[in-house]
Amino acid sequence: MNEHPKIHDHHRQRLATVYIRQSTLRQVAEHLESQDLQYQLVARAQAWGWPAERIAVIDEDLGKSAVSSQERYGFQRLFTDVGTGKVGLLLVTDVSRLARNCADWYQLLDLAARNHVLVSDSGGVYDPRAYDDRLLLGVKGAFSEAQWHLMRAQMQAARLNKAKRGELALRLPIGYQRLPNGQVILTADEQVQTSIRQVFHLFRRLGSAHAVLGHLQQTGLRLPARAAIWSGRPSSSGTEPVTARFTRYSNCPPMPASMPMASGGGKGCPARRTHAMAGGCPRPNGKSCSGMPFPAILPGRNIWKTRRNWRKTGRPPPLPTRPTPRSMAVRGHNPSPPKARPPKGRPARGGRC
């Protein structure tokens, strides 16, 4: 057993918790060495005197970002264990695995200091109760948050620069695939094409998204959806893994705005794009491939928000306007503050007290 001057017996009587996290599902599928380094922290805890039954591994947050703790149930569990005094040592490869915002980081540090919990990373072991260690941990947490903002700004600048050159290719909706030369065509899977055409047919016949979803649920029909874990690299045919699942409002897959977009001669839309966030190929009349006066392909665009429904109703939905004082008064609101009145029981001006 390797002795450490900051680790005592009362620490070993509690749990040694190893927190493991990676930001995206692509990192989970490809960055296996990073996972292995994080799982090796179990051996470090055993070398410091913790038996295997008192070592807890929290890896529920694989594929989740540390910008927020709202969807990170593993971090919430860790936060609860530290607050209740179950943890004696917290092990991570880097503090950025725990949090990339100072709010969550300093709350965790406060609980660790109150319950005598040590924090260990690749740089050493820190005691949040000691001023020097807490100062160093605070600087590391602040740098972790700043690093996230810097990386995001750099990636956004690179994305915009690529879009200015017309080479930005975004993720396509289900039903399309991109060839190696950049051409966008309909997917070769006939079952996927049939399912999507049926959705458009039902939408034209029923007239609302609620009716379409109700019909799909009553008949038990499944819609194509991307696999839960995907490495981000298409196969040799240029397609992604697609599965079929029952449809609800919470998991309705993004649909292409117009299915006949790529059916004109089988050419589809060229890879060169003229807009930073969408990719319609312009024509002399100013319209896109689908005949609509806006980009035809918008990855993640929902079928229920297309202008085809606007044409069917005859007019687009009205834009929200700022309420005027007259409209507020009609609805019973008083747009102006009430006039000041003297309080009751106060004598009039000039009277005697």
> What one-character-per-residue DSSP string does 56-105 give?
EEEEEEET--SS-SSS-HHHHHHHHHHHTT-EEEEE-S-GGGT-SSHHHH
In the structure encoding, which two tokens stand for residue 248, read together? 């609800």
Summarize pLDDT for 65-91 with one digit per residue, the tens: 998 888 899 999 999 999 999 999 999
Per-residue model confidence (pLDDT) at position 311: 55
Confidence of residue 315 (pLDDT cuts 50, 70, 90): low
| Secondary structure, 3-state, 154-205 | HHHHHHHHHHHCCCCCCCCCCCEEECCCCCEEECCCHHHHHHHHHHHHHHHH
Least confident of 186-190, 215-219, 247-251: 247-251
Confidence of residue 275 (pLDDT cuts 50, 70, 90): very low
68 or 328, greater pLDDT: 68
Per-residue model confidence (pLDDT) at position 161: 92
Confidence of residue 269 (pLDDT cuts 50, 70, 90): very low
24 or 225, greater pLDDT: 24
142 or 308, greater pLDDT: 142
Residue 257 has pLDDT above 60, yes or no: no
Give all domains of the chain, ordered by start, each with its CATH number: 9-149 (3.40.50.1390), 176-313 (no CATH)
Q: What distance in Å separates the CA atoms of residue 174 and residue 153, rounded to the nearest whole number?
A: 29
The catalytic site residues sit at: 23
Highest mean pLDDT among 102-106, 170-174, 233-237: 102-106
* Mean pLDDT rounded to a whole number for the chain: 74
Residue 336 has pLDDT above 50, yes or no: yes
Q: Please work out, in degrees rounded to the nearest 5, the angle formed at the alpha carbon of residue 84 by the alpha carbons of 78 and 85.
A: 90
**How far, in whole angstroms, is CA 208 from its chain's centroid?**
28
Per-residue model confidence (pLDDT) at position 181: 82
Least confident of 91-105, 127-141, 217-231: 217-231
Tell me the mean pLDDT in the region 277-304: 38
Q: Is 265 left (phi over 0), alpha (psi -120 to 50) or beta?
A: left
Tell me the mean pLDDT in the region 25-52: 93
Per-residue model confidence (pLDDT) at position 229: 47
Confidence of residue 18 (pLDDT cuts 50, 70, 90): very high
Please compute, for residue 153, the number of CA atoms within 13 A of its CA located in the half-sphere on the CB side: 6
- Beta strands at 184-186 and 223-226: parallel, antiparallel or unpaired: unpaired
